[in-house]
């Protein structure tokens, strides 16, 4: 078996020592730090991105909160304004209604007064007519000349029976 | 010397240039050449693929990073935070064995991990390093490593020698495991390759198909043995920190 032939043992060991030492030192000093830097850089980048993403999320949440606040505020303001307007309109309407009521009442009372007055007038006229007719009738039938005062008195006493 | 067609012929060492230093033969051989290629592949790959240092890695850079994370994870799982200091060593060991095995899978290429002297040297470095580490961390108390707590006292005369022997056989088991796996796999491939040629008519395709399947298995074993070598090194380092 060539493996057990000691002829090249020293040579094998010598070159193994040379090459393995070179490999070890090279990897230790050059290659591995390089890979380590890359991995570290990547990890840093990932951490950075994660933290900035977190920050942005927080900012977004803040903005959302602000928007919600503003919406709420605007809602409240609108509600207030709507209420105010409704109140103002209601006041306006009620004042106008009351003034209309007053007008109407006045008009109604005026009309009532006029009606009463015209009724009175009419009644007076009717009375006069009644007196006249009665005078004429009595005069024609009986030839009795009655004074207006007398007729009035008679009519007054019988007035209740007419109605 | 093996015979011309022996399956063991592939393990023979041929000097490429004869060098002598202080009376020792340190010729640059095909084994040294395989080591050189291995080291070149590892250093060039790990350097060039990470050259751009891009945050979003290319596929090749991703391979380097995966290897880095694979061994880093292995160390932190077995040793914990103490293990970070030994990361370059364990990583070098893993890559050297892994790529050494893989280079050996190239036809006509020499497999230096199939030589017991090479694997034993690597295992001895691990063993001596871990033992020194144990004494640095625990001083003379490191010997309590061989004392198993919670065992009846009369068992200790039996158990302590067993523990000592098992500790001392660590470098042997570590090196022989890798060496034997490589030796057996490559010998088997060579034997079946011989069948392809020597079998009559077209029946040679059967051993050929077997070789194809076996090559896949050998690549798996190449990775697996490098992994085993690395994880056992991690476990030994862990033992040097945590006695029972």
3-state SS class at B150? coil
pLDDT computed for residue B40 by the predictor: 95
> Distance between CA atoms of B53 and B61, rounded to whole angstroms?
8
> Distance between CA atoms of A117 and B65, rounded to whole angstroms?
119
| pLDDT tens digits, one per residue of B148-166 | 888 888 888 888 999 999 9
Q: In a mutagenesis test of the B interface, which of A4, A26, A27 is the best target, namely the one with the most B β-carbons within 10 Å?
A: A27
pLDDT computed for residue B2 by the predictor: 44
Using the Cβ of A28 and the Cβ atoms of chain B, whether some distance falls under 8 Å is answered with yes
Taking the CA of residue A52 and the nearest CA in chain B, the distance in Å comes to: 18
pLDDT computed for residue B232 by the predictor: 95
> Distance between CA atoms of B172 and B179, rounded to whole angstroms?
10
- For the four alpha carbons of A87, A89, A93 and A95, in that order, the dihedral sign comes to positive
Question: Is the separation of the CB atoms in A47 and B111 below 8 Å?
Answer: no
Q: Provide ipTM, 2 decimals.
A: 0.90
Q: Is B207's pLDDT higher than 60?
A: yes
Taking the CA of residue B24 and the nearest CA in chain A, the distance in Å comes to: 7
Kind plus residue range of the DSSP H or E element containing B112: none
Taking the CA of residue B142 and the nearest CA in chain A, the distance in Å comes to: 28
What is the radius of gyration, based on Cα positions, of chain B?
22
Number of H helices, E strands in chain A: 3, 0
Give domain limits for chain A. 8-162
Residues of A in contact with B92 (CB under 8 A): 20, 23-24, 27-28
| pLDDT tens digits, one per residue of A55-112 | 999 999 999 999 999 999 999 999 999 999 999 999 999 999 999 999 999 999 999 9
- For the four alpha carbons of A73, A76, A79 and A81, in that order, the dihedral sign comes to negative
| pLDDT tens digits, one per residue of A113-124 | 999 998 888 888
Alpha-helical regions (H) of chain B: 30-48, 59-78, 87-104, 116-138, 156-168, 170-198, 205-241
Give B207's contacts (C-beta < 8 A, 6+ positions apart). Answer: B192, B193, B195, B196, B199
Query: A162: pLDDT confidence band, cut at 50, 70 and 90?
Result: low
Q: In a mutagenesis test of the B interface, which of A5, A8, A22 is the best target, namely the one with the most B β-carbons within 10 Å?
A: A8
Please give the residue of chain B at the shortest CA–CA distance from A2. Answer: B12
């Amino acid at each position: 078996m060539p493996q057990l032939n000691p002829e090249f043992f020293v040579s094998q060991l010598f070159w193994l020592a040379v090459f393995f030492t070179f490999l070890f030192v090279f990897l230790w000093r050059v290659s591995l730090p390089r890979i380590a830097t890359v991995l570290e850089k990547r990890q840093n980048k990932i951490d950075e991105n994660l933290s900035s993403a977190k920050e942005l999320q927080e900012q977004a949440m803040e903005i959302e909160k602000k928007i919600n606040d503003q919406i709420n505020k605007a809602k409240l303001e609108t509600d207030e304004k709507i209420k105010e307007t409704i109140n103002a309109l209601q006041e306006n309407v009620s004042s106008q209604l009351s003034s209309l009521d007053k007008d109407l009442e006045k008009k109604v009372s005026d009309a009532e007064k006029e009606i009463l007055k015209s009724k009175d007038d009419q009644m007076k006229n009717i009375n006069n007519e009644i007196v006249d007719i009665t005078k004429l009738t009595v005069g024609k039938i009986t030839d009795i000349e009655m004074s207006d005062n007398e007729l009035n008195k008679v009519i007054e006493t019988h007035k209740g029976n007419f109605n | 010397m093996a015979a011309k067609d022996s399956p063991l012929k592939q393990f023979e060492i041929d000097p490429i240039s004869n060098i002598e230093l202080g009376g020792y033969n340190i010729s640059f051989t095909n084994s040294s050449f395989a080591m050189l290629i291995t080291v070149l592949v590892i250093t060039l790959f790990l350097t060039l693929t990470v050259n751009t240092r891009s945050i979003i890695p290319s596929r090749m850079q991703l391979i380097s990073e995966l290897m880095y994370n694979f061994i880093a994870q292995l160390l932190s799982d077995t040793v914990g935070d103490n293990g970070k200091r030994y990361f370059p060593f364990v990583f070098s060991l893993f890559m050297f064995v892994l790529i050494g095995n893989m280079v050996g899978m190239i036809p006509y290429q020499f497999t230096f991990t199939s030589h017991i002297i090479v694997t034993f040297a690597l295992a001895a470095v691990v063993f001596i390093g871990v033992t020194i580490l144990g004494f640095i961390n625990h001083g003379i108390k490191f010997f309590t490593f061989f004392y198993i707590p919670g065992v009846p006292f009369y068992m200790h005369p039996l158990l302590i020698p067993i523990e000592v022997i098992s500790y001392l056989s660590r470098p042997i088991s570590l090196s022989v495991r890798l060496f034997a796996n490589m030796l057996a796999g490559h010998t088997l491939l060579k034997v079946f390759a011989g069948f392809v040629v020597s079998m009559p008519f077209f029946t040679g395709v059967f051993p050929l198909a077997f070789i194809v399947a076996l090559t896949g298995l050998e690549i798996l074993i190449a990775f697996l043995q490098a992994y085993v070598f690395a994880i056992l090194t991690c476990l030994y380092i862990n033992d040097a920190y945590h006695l029972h």
